[in-house]
Structure 1
Amino acid sequence: MPVLLVFLGGMLGAPLRYLTDKAIQGRHDSVFPLGTFTVNIAGSLILGALAGAVTAHGLPGGVMLLLGTGVCGALTTFSTFSFETIRLLEDGSLAEAGLNALGSLLVGLGAATAGYAFLTWL
């Protein structure tokens, strides 16, 4: 049963990542990978909120498997983040590569912390 929950969540998260990335990138004429950045930050916020809900409100493990591991696992993408950062470096876009790497780390941690803090506060 746990594998099925992760599988179902992944079936939701993967197309959500693809569609969100394409919608955002299609609206911006920039070398910065804003679509990937956005899904990774959103996933960090959601995962932090889910962790807060588990801690403070006893969110069932099955919900965490479905939404946290499944949806957020498929929504976020470390491999694409890494590839896009390397591509920016290879193209000579050093500022964008640095912003992507450092920004993803700092904003992602901030989003996860905010999500966790908000759900434990509720």
Structure 2
Amino acid sequence: MSLQACLLVLLGGFFGGTSRFFVSGAVGRRVGETFPWGTFAVNVSGSALIGFLAGLGQRHGGVFAGEAFRAFFIVGFCGGYTTVSSFSLQTLNLSLDGEQRGAAFNVVASALACLAATGAGFLAAAGLAR
């Protein structure tokens, strides 16, 4: 990986992580933090975005398939925006707090919603080609 690509990942990760902090916090303040809705919203929206960006790369090529685009947006921004570590800790905390149903719901709903969002984003990018 080139130095330029590394710097683009760093910059994208900065913007992605900062966005995650604000989006997750805003959702948590709006709907409450008993269940980790902020992390859920971030992971689902990030999944839709990465699907869309991957679809752009596959359908349109060019700048969307280039190393710089992938480094900044897909690896950096989306990698910094979505978070498995927060999801894992919040799921563990739900379980430790006796909320086994909430923990199980978080695992199943997150996996299904993120996969569906990635597919929807990919299909949305494919629709742009028509």
Q: What TM-score do the two structures reach when normalised by structure 1?
A: 0.96
Give the aligned partner of residue 7 of structure 2: 4
User: How many residues end up aligned between the 2 structures?
Assistant: 122
User: Aligned match of 1:18 in 13, 21, 41?
Assistant: 21
Contact 2:8 2:72 survives alignment (8 Å): yes
Whether 1:104 and 2:114 are equivalent positions in the alignment is no
Runs of 4+ in 1 over 2 A off after TM superposition: none
- Tell me by how many angstroms 1:121 deviates: 2.2
Look up the equivalent residue of 1:88 and give its one-letter code.
L
User: Aligned match of 1:65 in 68, 71, 80?
Assistant: 71
Structure 2 residue runs without a partner (length 5+): none
1:29 and 1:54 map into 2 onto residues whose CA distance is 37
Whether 1:34 and 2:37 are equivalent positions in the alignment is yes
Alignment RMSD (CA, Å): 1.0
- Tell me by how many angstroms 1:111 deviates: 0.2
Residue 18 of structure 1 aligns to a residue whose secondary structure is helix
Q: Which runs of structure 2 are paired with 1:86-97 in the superposition (5 Å)? A: 86-97=92-103
1:16 and 1:34 map into 2 onto residues whose CA distance is 15
Look up the equivalent residue of 2:10 and give its one-letter code.
F
- Tell me by how many angstroms 1:30 deviates: 4.5
1:69 and 1:109 map into 2 onto residues whose CA distance is 18
Deviates further, 84-93 or 26-35: 26-35
1:42 and 1:4 map into 2 onto residues whose CA distance is 24
Structure 1 residue runs without a partner (length 5+): none
Give the aligned partner of residue 122 of structure 2: 116
User: Aligned match of 1:44 in 47, 67, 87?
Assistant: 47
Identity value in percent: 38
Residue 30 of structure 2 aligns to a residue whose secondary structure is coil
Q: What TM-score do the two structures reach when normalised by structure 2?
A: 0.90
- Tell me by how many angstroms 1:28 deviates: 2.0
Deviation per residue, 1:63-120 (Å, 9 max, x gap):
1211111110000000110000010011011221111100110000000000011102
